Amino acid sequence: MDEQALIRDAQAGSLDAFNTLILHYQDSLYNTALRILGDEDLAADATQEAFISAFKSIGSFRGGSFKAWLMRTVTNACYDELRRQKRRPTTPLEPDSEEGEEMDSPAWLADPGMSPEQEAEADELEHALQHCLNDLPVEFKTVVVMADIQGMDYSEVAVAVRVPLGTIKSRLARARLRLRECLQGFTELLPASFRLEEGSSAS
Partner 1 sequence: MNRRDLELLSSYLDGQLKPSESARLESRLSTDPDLRAVLDDLRSTRNLLRKLPMRKAPRNFTLTPKMVGKNPPLPRTYPAFRFVTALASLLLFFSMGLNYLIPQLVAQPPAFGMGGGGAPEVYSAEAPAATEAPAAAAPAEEPLVQMAPMPTPTIASADTSREMETPAAKEGITGEPSVPDQAQVQNTAPRQEMAPPIPSIWLIALAGITVLGVVVMLFMRRLAAERWRQK
Q: Find the binder of partner 1 among 47, 73, 76, 142 (CB under 8 A).
A: 47
Q: Find the binder of partner 1 among 6, 7, 17, 18 (CB under 8 A).
A: 18
User: What is residue 102's three-state secondary structure?
Assistant: strand
Q: Segment near partner 1 (CB under 8 A), from 8-16, 76-84, 94-102, 134-142?
A: 8-16
Q: Find the binder of partner 1 among 44, 82, 163, 189 (CB under 8 A).
A: 44
Residue 8 binds to partner 1 (criterion: CB under 8 A): no
Bridge partner list, 188: none
Amino acid residing at 56: K
Residue 65 binds to partner 1 (criterion: CB under 8 A): no
Whether 21 contacts 13, CB under 8 Å: no
User: What is residue 96's three-state secondary structure?
Assistant: strand
- Count CB atoms within 10 A of the CB of residue 171: 22
Whether 50 contacts 33, CB under 8 Å: yes
Task: Report the alpha-carbon distance of residue 102 to residue 116 in Å, rounded.
Answer: 21
- Site for partner 1, rule CB under 8 A: 13, 15-16, 18-19, 22-23, 26-27, 29-31, 34-35, 40, 44, 47-48, 51-52, 55-56, 110-111, 122, 125-126, 129, 144, 147-149, 151, 154, 169-170, 172-174, 176-177, 179-180, 183, 194, 196-203
